[in-house]
Structure 1
Amino acid sequence: MAQQDFSTKKALLIEDMAEARIMQRKMLTDFGFTSIDIAMKAETAIELLRSKSFDVILSDYNLGKGKDGQQLLEEVRHSKLIPNTATYLMVTAETSIEMVMGAIEYQPDGYITKPFSQAMLQRRLNKLLETKERLFKVNKALDSKKYSDAIKQAEKVIENHPSLEGKCERIIGDCLLELRDYRKAFSLFDKVAKSRKMPWALFGKAKCYYFTNEQDKAEKLLRQLMLDNRFFVSAYDWLAKVLLKQDKPKEAQAALIEAITKSPKNILRQMELGRISLMIEDSITAEMAYRKAVFLAKHSCYNTSEVYLKHLESLARISDAGTLLPRQQDNFDSTLKKIHENFFEEPETRAKSYEYEMDVCIASGETTTAKQIFEVWLSEVGSATTTAPTKEQNDRYAKLFGN
């Protein structure tokens, strides 16, 4: 392997511990890096990534208070703060399955566990950057969403660097899915699955079946994949999608619950579990999922009013069966407070929070309080700070309050 010239590369080092930061900076300087930016927390890293471009990002998983390394990577991917051409290496002292699964879900280019030697880090960076260089034109095309160009460039890489065949075939397959050429995509995934039994090829085949509405075949493949690779968490998400298409929401819920036991920090998965649970009127599971989503939202790029409103809704649906337990009421009040603090200026959010608060009050026999909330709601409609109650809501409350 040829030694990389690191002197031309820009690095961003994200590490909250001073001793580790000093040591890693020295290692990067020894490798030849001359441009090294430092961030002690995720928020600073995001500001730097918004304003500058980097070739290498070396990020610790534990970053003290605020976002952790997984949530940082989640935001980086969601906001497209780094191109495919950049190299992202996760550093961690943890080896827990939860951490590894969580980090892998957002696809760093690699991760390295502490303690590591200077030689080990150099070897890892050398290999990652060499691969990135060889795939540069492929990644450029992917960044521009030029999937046909990416396929052509990947085919050239296979000719020149046969060792990257697997990586390139996976990219080609994913590009064909983006282009909705399911016949060609299936053919490629099928060939790889038969010759090398790669899990991603089986996954690709299952997606093709999903998109061509062959849900039974998709389900069979995904279950096989989960059996052989129980930590391939995305397979559980796709199985849930397949089962919903087959009108099996309870089984879809079970698939997501299993995925969450393996990787609980994915907020979108928690939200989907909550959504399906509400659909099948399992308010208890919905509340657990949305409560976890509220907890994760604080440091997530998916921190929207929907997360909090859905948690209120799940508790309101629990209250349909009677007064909330003290613990449940505390959870309701806590989430409602967060809405008041962060999202109450949104008219629809304000209206929904009034609705759910009234539901809970009515369930516990506090009709007078519910009526007062309704009067506040109506008084604010004229100033456009909230949306108006629906006709059904007006009729229901008029009947309830004897108006």
Structure 2
Amino acid sequence: MSDVTDTSTPERPAQLPAQSPPVDPAETAAAEQRAAGRLSWWRGESGEGARRNLWLIGVLVALIVIGIVTRPDLYGNSSWVWSNILVILKLASVVGVVSVGMTFVIIGGGIDLSVGAIVALAGVWATTVATQSYGAGGMIFCALTVGLGVGLVNGLLISYGRLVPFIATLAMLVAARGLAAELSDKQTQVSNNATINDIASTNLLGIPLLVYILAAVVIAGWVLLNRTTFGRRTVAVGGNPEAARLAGIDVKRHTLMLYALSGLCCGIAAIMLTAQATSAQAAMANLYELDAIAAVIIGGTLLSGGRGTIIGSLLGVIIFSTITNLFAINGLTTEAQNMVKGGIIVAAVLVQQVQFRSLTQFLGRNRLTTN
């Protein structure tokens, strides 16, 4: 038998498909835990402020849509839209500064009905002939000192005098208005200081100086509330004063400081409002206390204290200013505007009570179904 040489090509082993690298169970568990943490943050109390702010932004968008539908001729002009935005922010600046101080007071478990009267008293005192003789610096110092002083009186009556905040600040409302009328002899006092008057007419990079002042106060208030011990103590005092006292917080002194802070904000607002009107009188800043309280409630601050956000209060002020602007460009009456504002306040309180429970339950059911 002859040998036969096999010249055929040997079979090549079949190539296995490329496999993905093995999945690390620990990494998968960590990713799931992060996702669950984000969901729990959104659904929990920590994300409640974000949910409410998102709802407020939705209200602003709805108001803008209403404006586009009712006045397409105006909203079709881009230059008018930009100038109108600046008008709204300028309109919100004074009440916005007052609302920052009001936010701290309400989070701390109090209420201040005298903020409008404090603004009037500080403005009148700053525009007296004697005060104006010291120049712009003297007027600003006077307004801030008067606001801070009246706020300290409120704080002393409430914290150490143990008066109910509603009664103490209501009495201060009447007293401050009366003192302002006495100082001004029931007359309008004209501001002759060009530096003060220019605050309302000066623009930096096309934006009014009043808007910058509002932004500075809001940023300072946000940092004070969210990044300092003072802010954490404010939340603790408003949430449970007795527990805060047992934890070592001087509740009386802290309450005094809260009302002093509110008065200081009123002093800043007095200068801004005086600059806008180039004058001051005892009747100025009328019902500002209601506007500030309504904006703070709209922003999600609990009237019972212990919870609230500066950004939410700012959005509440902007919403009310947008409503005022919307009614103005459509030629509607002030009475109708007040009725709409009242309805918004009621709706905000109802939303505050519901606390987006329906959305939370929906997200929870959706997650369980997915799992």
Greater fraction of residues in helix: 2
TM-score (normalised: structure 2): 0.21
TM-score (normalised: structure 1): 0.20
Greater fraction of residues in strand: 1
